[in-house]
Amino acid sequence: MAHVTDFREAGFSTLLDELEWRGLISQSTDRDRLAKALNGEPITYYCGFDPTAASLHIGNLVQLINMRHLQLAGHHPIALVGGATGLIGDPRQSGERTLNPKDVVAGWAERLKAQIGGILDADGDNPVRFVSNYDWTAQMTVIDFLRDVGKNFRLGTMLAKDTVARRLNSEEGISFTEFSYQVLQGNDFLHLYDEYGCTLQLGGSDQWGNLTSGLDLIHKVRGVDVNVFTSPIITDAQGKKFGKSEGNAVWIDPTMLSPYKFYQFWFNRPDVEMESLLKAFTFLPKAEIERLVAESQQNPGAREAQKALAWEVTSFVHGEEATQAAIDASAALFGRGGDLAAIDGQTLQSVLDGFQVTGEDGTRAFPAAAPGDRVIDAAQAAGLFHTASEARRAIKSGGVYLNNVRVEDGDAVLTDADFLQGRFALIRRGKKALGAVEHR
């Protein structure tokens, strides 16, 4: 991450002005009250992350970026990893959630804490505080919950929540378990207000009803006005949501999506998305973003905006070292510099995953090869040529490369040294057509 500036240096009157300019605010409570709170003495704020998977994804990243903006401004963050609400699941737009085993949820919660701690400052003068709502929710009996919390909620208000209303009108309806989620989340805000003086909650725009349940509860039982705001749901140029429920999740955990693939995701975004993505997902100052957007429009082939976006987001999530390794791997892969042999095994496999071929049974795998096999046969197995004679002609014309070294002999064979990290041999046809075979 680079180029962090104070909002005043960028010409904004309030922190809220900058967040709105970046497209990071969708809904909020009284705007003047919120702006005043963010520009005044440091406040304590929180955002909840339910462990419904082993990793956060870039939909959650928007919340972490908002949290980081506030943390940099001196406000005190609390990251609530929902050990209790993760066992329940917030209502989806359609379909009841599958309840996961308690030990699985607990394991996922620990993984999420590690991911969040790698993005927000976890040390220093203003570290993020981690809490789990299981700690206070599990201690409550059903009677306590109904008497102390449930009595403060009105059924009419709960039924009017957008997601609840939509589910009620669907064929499957909604279970009492998911219906109760907003009560649990409202109680979380009250607990954090009482325990830490927390006066602001953040979330995605699909969480608005859950966020306001806590706001209303605090106002009712403590007579205090607190704040909430949401960020918009991020979509691609076709309007499709980036999220695990849509089947195209971009995971934050490097074991579920490598830094190389994470970097490539951002680098391959179209020009039309550059302005919104640079504003929302980077901390670059306003003037630099405007320059990059203008450059993208005037000279799209240079992809300067995409390079800046990919660097900023990947280094924010995975660190500069992993990001540079992803860039070096990409350059080496296409023979634009860098040493293929220097790519570590995990990155190498991640880089080459896209070059698996589909077998007759529909499964995808790397074609197998062994020392002594002809390069033309390996190239054909990798899907680069239809026939051996076609491969020979390409070699004769100087258009075939083994690990970025031009193949001069049509009868050349693979050697042990040709298998990078002892596993893969990379074959390239021309400048862009790539394939790989795996040592058998």
For all residues of the chain together, what is the average pLDDT?
88
**b (16+ CB within 10 A) / e for 206-231:** bbbbbbbbbbbbbeeeeeeebbbbbb
What is the C-alpha to C-alpha distance for residues 377 and 27, in angstroms, rounded to an integer?
Answer: 59
Q: Collect contacts of 103-108 with beta carbons under 8 A, ≥24 apart.
A: 105/51, 106/51, 107/54, 108/51, 108/52, 108/53, 108/54
- pLDDT per position as a tens digit, 272-319: 999 999 999 999 999 999 999 999 999 999 999 999 999 999 999 999
Neighbouring residues of 104: CB distance < 8 A, sequence distance ≥ 6 = none
pLDDT at 415: 95
Per-residue pLDDT tens over the stretch 307-358? 999 999 999 999 999 999 888 888 887 777 777 888 888 788 877 877 788 8
Q: Which residues are within 8 A (CB) of 78 and not within 5 positions of it... i.e. 6 or more apart? A: 44, 45, 46, 47, 128, 129, 130, 131, 192, 196, 198
pLDDT tens, residue by residue, 226-265? 999 999 987 777 777 764 544 567 899 998 888 988 999 9
Q: Give the model's pLDDT for residue 12.
A: 86
427 in Cβ contact with 402 (< 8 Å)? yes
| Residues in binding site for ATP | 244
**172 vs 427 pLDDT, higher one:** 427
Checking if the pLDDT of 71 tops 90, the result is yes
pLDDT on residue 191: 96
Tell me the one-letter amino acid at 5.
Answer: T
Domains of the chain: 15-234 (3.40.50.620), 259-333 (1.10.240.10), 355-439 (3.10.290.10)
Which residue has 């660097």 as its token pair?
Answer: 311
Strand, helix or coil at 427?
strand
Tokens 């403060």 correspond to 152
Strand partners, 44: 76, 198
- The alpha carbon dihedral of 413, 418, 419, 422 has a sign of positive
Binding residues, as ranges, are 46, 181, 185, 244
Work out the percent of the chain whose per-residue pLDDT is above 90: 60
Quick one: which of 421, 424, 405 has its CA closest to 356? 424
Q: Does residue 3 register a pLDDT over 60? A: no
Task: Write the pLDDT tens digit of every residue in 20-49.
Answer: 999 999 999 999 999 999 999 999 999 999
Annotated binding-site positions for L-tyrosine: 46, 181, 185
